[in-house]
Amino acid sequence: MTRPKSDRLREKAEKLLDKLPSAESSKTHDDLLQVVHELHVHQIELELQNEELLQAHKALEQSRENYMRLYHDAPVGYVVLDQSGITRKVNKTFAEMLSDDPSAMSGTPFADFLVPDDQPIFRARLKAFYKNPVNKQIDVRLARNDMPFHVSLTAIVDDDNHQSERPNELLVTVTDINERQKTQDALE
C-alpha cells in the first residue's frame, strides 16, 4: 500500500534536515538563525507556488467548462466518426435530435441513426466524404421514433489528432434542415 504524499514529503524533509549541520557543530547562533530564516522563506515560496497552482487549476477548469458548454450546447449536432463510420463522440444537441443519451451513442455505426433508405447512400459516400470533405455535404434523414427528419452533414478531417489509436477522425456537423426541406417539397 502506498503511503500518502504528505508522509513521503515529511520523510524527505526530515532526511534533508538530518543533512543540515547539527547544533553540536561549530556553527554559531547567527548561522542557525540564518537556516531558520531560509526555511521560512522556502515555506512561503511553496505556499505562493501552491496558490499559483490552485489559480491555474481553476482557470483550466473554467476553460474546460466553457469548451464543454460550446460543444454540447451548440445549435448544431457534432459527431466524431472514425474511418469506418463508427461514432466516437456526439454532443448533447445531436443526442437530443434523436432523443437519446449521448453516452449510449458512442460505438454505434453512424448509418444506424439514419432511415434504412438513406443508410446505403451514406455508406457509399463515406470514403469519398472522408478523403476530401471540403465543400461537400450529404443530405440524409435521421430516424427519430419512426419520424424521420432531414439533416445536412458537413465535415472536416481531424488530421491533427495526436492520439495514435484514433488517427484522422471525421468531425461532422449535423444541421437540422427539416423545415427547409418541407418548404422545398411544398413548392415542388
Q: Does the pLDDT value for residue 102 go beyond 90? A: no
Domain boundary among the residues 70, 86, 116 is at: 70
- Residues 52 and 44: their CA atoms lie apart, in Å, by 12
Assign 130 a pLDDT band (cuts: 50, 70, 90): confident
The answer on 66 and 37 residing in a single domain is: yes
Give yes or no for residue 35 having a pLDDT over 90: no
Mean pLDDT computed over every residue of the chain: 85
Q: Is the pTM of this model over 0.85?
A: no
Q: Quote the number of domains for the chain.
A: 2
Whether the pLDDT of residue 86 is over 90: the answer is yes
**Distance from C-alpha of 77 to C-alpha of 89, rounded to nearest angstrom:** 11
Q: Per-residue pLDDT averaged across 29-36, rounded? A: 82
Sign, CA torsion 14/18/21/25: positive
Assigned C-alpha cell, 56: 491555474
For residues 54 and 128, state if they share a domain: no
Which amino acid would we find at residue 40? Answer: H
Mean pLDDT of 66-87: 92
Cα distances (Å, whole numbers) of residue 71 to 117, 145, 150, 158: 30, 25, 22, 16
The rounded radius of gyration (Å) of the Cα atoms in the chain is 29
Co-location of 104 and 161 in the same domain: yes
Q: What is the mean pLDDT of residues 50-65?
A: 95
* 77 and 65 housed in the same domain: no
β-pairing, 169-176 with 149-158?
Answer: antiparallel
Please tell me whether residues 65 and 79 are part of one structural domain: no
DSSP, res 20: S
Taking the C-alpha atoms of residue 28 and residue 32, their distance in angstroms, rounded to an integer, is 7
| 11-35: average pLDDT | 71
156 within 8 A of 169, measured Cβ to Cβ: no
Same domain flag for 117 and 41: no
Domain of residue 10: give its range.
5-70
Of residues 19 and 82, more confidence is placed in 82
What pLDDT sits at residue 36?
A: 87
- Do 179 and 92 belong together in one domain? yes
Q: Would you state the pLDDT for residue 180?
A: 83
Cβ atoms 107, 114 nearer than 8 A:
no
